[in-house]
Structure 1
């Protein structure tokens, strides 16, 4: 084989490799509601007691009530239903819950939200929600705070906080 043919083949392969790699770096179709994890620990070095895996929808000029309508079961985030794992038996909203993994659904309301732990896992949205699979339901009062663009879940002082727009909901976790 001639040197020029070998050189042309190598050059073509190199250009093809670079053009494929450049396209890969564009990250087309990235999720608009990125996945996040919130842990409940007694301190930074302690093992977790609770872990929540959820996607964080953004308001992007939309109203929260359009994305999480009052009176309707919501996946508590975006994409797949939010999952909450208890590493030990605990109380959630004052009710006992066994160690395990549950889906976390909510029913938003003006003055209180219903927080639901359910045994159906790995479902997209609330479409796979089945009320007969609820493990528990608790009511949590609504308060308000500074506007938050991306739906967020955090733990602090024995509470799990849900925050979006100016809405805040706290559920005790002990």
Structure 2
């Protein structure tokens, strides 16, 4: 057997968030796979420019899988896997579902492939989160957190 070359841990490791959140519930309705960049003494507004399409994480664009038909904000979406992007605004973030998959960053983002957009309200929290994070609550709302910025995106099943 020959030695293998294994890469070191990525600086922005991959993670996943799912709804329902309990590991005891195997019947997931939604799953997001994304990478978790760190602030590393930088500011969010330097890493996620205002008004520019962002991959929602690092490395590959985030991907979201709906295991059954759902709503992204107010827009009905079919079960399937989509890329997930965001455009940071002053008070709202435009969340974007897109058909193009396996994209590196937002470099090849094509708005003609958008399935849905949702303007999510951004808020500021006292606690700063070092690593970009995505989580769901029990009401099927997805939360983005990085630094002191929080963004809530509601989902609901058909």
Kindly indicate whether structure 1 or structure 2 has the higher relative contact order, using CA contacts under 8 Å at least 6 residues apart: 2
Distance 1:94 1:158 in 2: 13
**Residue among 137, 140, 152 paired with 1:158:** 140
Whose strand fraction is larger, Structure 1's or Structure 2's? 2
The count of aligned residue pairs is: 152
Which consecutive residues of structure 2, in runs of 5 or more, have no partner in the other structure? none
Provide, for residues 80-129 of structure 1, a one-character-per-residue CA deviation record: whole Å limited to 9, x for no partner.
00000000001111211110000000001120000000000001000110
Which of these two proteins has the greater Rg computed from alpha carbons? 1
**Residue among 35, 41, 48 paired with 2:14:** 35
TM-score by length of 2: 0.90
User: Segments of 4+ in structure 1 off by > 3 A?
Assistant: none
Which consecutive residues of structure 1, in runs of 5 or more, have no partner in the other structure? 1-16
**Residue among 120, 131, 136 paired with 1:140:** 120
Equivalent position of 1:121 in the other structure = 101
Superposed CA RMSD: 1.7
Whose helix fraction is larger, Structure 1's or Structure 2's? 1
TM-score by length of 1: 0.82
